[in-house]
Amino acid sequence: MNTFKYLVILAVGLISAGAMAQTSHQAGWIQADEQIVAASLNLPSVAPAGRPLQAGMLQTLNVDLAGSEVEAAISNNEVVSVWKFAAPGCGGLTVYYDSFNLDGGASVTVTNGSGTQVLGPYTHQNNPSGGCFATGVVNDDSLIIHYQRPMAAPASSVVVSAISILKPYETDGFGGSGACEVNINCPEGDSWQIQKKGVARLLIKSGSSSYWCTGSLINNTRQDRTPYLLTANHCGKEATTADLNQWIVSFNYETSGCANPAVEPEKTDLTGVEKIAQSIETTTVGSDFYLVKLKQTIPEATGAYFNGWSLSPDASPTGASIHHPQGDIKKVSTYTTPLANSNWNGTPMGTHWQVHWAATTTNHGVTEGGSSGSPLFNNEGLIVGHLTGGQSGCSTPTEADYYGKLSYSWKMSLNAANQLATWLDPDNTGAIKLGGIALGLKDMALNNLFTVSPNPASTYCEITTATDLASTTSQAVVMDITGRTLLTTKLSGETNHIDLSGIKPGVYCLVISNGNLRGSFKLLVQ
């Protein structure tokens, strides 16, 4: 085995010795450990039962790109360091940092070996809380990291702790899913164009390996856009806090048409999650859910959507799952026969929904490794389950898959902190279903410009508009917790009387919009 502790800063060709044995390199490239590369290239394309699909293996490093012991070139009043890494034959590389703190005008850019794929530049705006960070997937078997800072700026902290060496793309990542899969923008996806915006690919770091899974943003009864993301417990149960800080969540990873694209589409990568709740560990009682909260702010430009949910015990007659099989671009699988009450690997009956996928116009979508944790939608477009596993595949399209029931995950644990209800219905409204909500602009954009009183209300409330907006026209919408619109009215002037006499007592969402601005309030009617 070749191991590495030598750093190459190519701008001046400096080789800095470490504590481990010297390794060979050619033309300034650090060569990956041959045994790790060989093991990565031979990873299976099918996940073992109860395990996520392994995407790659990690090579541990300790490369301080901004450390005082590293000499670097000086050009145009900037300090510039360049570091190169190659893992011949692999399908991709991901860089993990145990310290990432950029000061002043410092930046980090990661490219593939030819410079045709660029990640970044990352700046101080990307500095994570806690220091750990990751910079996405380079779809090549080599990469180059560029670190630069103004001469006048203090040295930053940029320490590469590991690189994940991914298995070949033919069986993993972009283009790696089975030929029977159906892209989300094929005709079968026409009815799921809103829900798809909440579904994300997950590149999970756990111990010495990385894994593919799928997750979905999920709404809560406050409708405050808390960035909760639901996936499977078997995807994350072994991840440490440091690992979670380096998960990569990718939104809008999809092709614009129905055919598989020749060139990988763009996506939005966010780094880092916080564990919120998980199902009971033992396989005899768990429903296999894992709820996390994103640590980075979701950009408005993603158009992200917080999917709604249903706790109904009734089996949905039709629906779909949206997922990222093998870590590939977004796919949709469709069912046209009712879900069946079931279990998984010894769990009690009623913990899971059983689903059989249907052949459709384009093909016969199924699930694969990497689909784990993906949402199962009912005929109302609401999440009713999260994928644990099953036997479906392109060679076995009629075999069953099993999704942990959201209704079972709701209050399955005696520990309230590990009940979905605690987080998705924080005010204990007793809702049994909830509609989705778009990311929109931050609620505070309009919440500071309107007041609602009385609240709680009975037969009416008054909305008072700040003077700055009194001369414009706003719109107020009252929705129930399923997202159904009950009342719509225009607002003009400083005070508007809203008649609530036709609305039953309960908890509602009052949404006010003015042009591109949007705000929401919780409205209690007694």
Verify whether residue 224 is a known catalytic residue: no
98 vs 334: CA distance, rounded Å: 41
- Residue of 372, 392, 474, 520 marked active site: 372
Identify the bridge partners of residue 355 per DSSP, sorted by sequence position.
Answer: 401
- Token digits of residue 169: 């793309």
The catalytic residue among 172, 288, 328, 425 is: 288
Burial per residue of 405-441, b for 16 or more beta-carbon CB atoms within 10 angstroms, e otherwise: bbbbbbebbeeeebbbbbbbbeeeeebebbbbbebbe
Extract the tokens encoding 310: 């249903």
Catalytic site residue 497?
Answer: no
Token pair 């036997």: residue: 391
> What secondary structure letter does DSSP report for 361?
S
Distances in Å between the Cα of 45 and the Cα atoms of 172, 250, 321 are: 7, 21, 21
Query: String of b and e for 152-168 (b: at least 16 CB within 10 Å)?
Result: eeebbbbbbbbbbbbbb
Q: Identity (one letter) of the amino acid at 352?
A: H
Catalytic, out of 98, 146, 157, 234: 234
Active site residue 191: no
The answer to whether 377 touches 309, Cβ cutoff 8 Å, is no
Burial class (CB in 10 A: 0-12, 13-18, 19+), 248: buried
Closest CA to 306 of 234, 416, 199, 161: 199
Cis amide linkage into residue 44, ω under 30° from 0: no
CB 327 within 8 Å of CB 375: no
Name the residues annotated as catalytic: 234, 288, 372
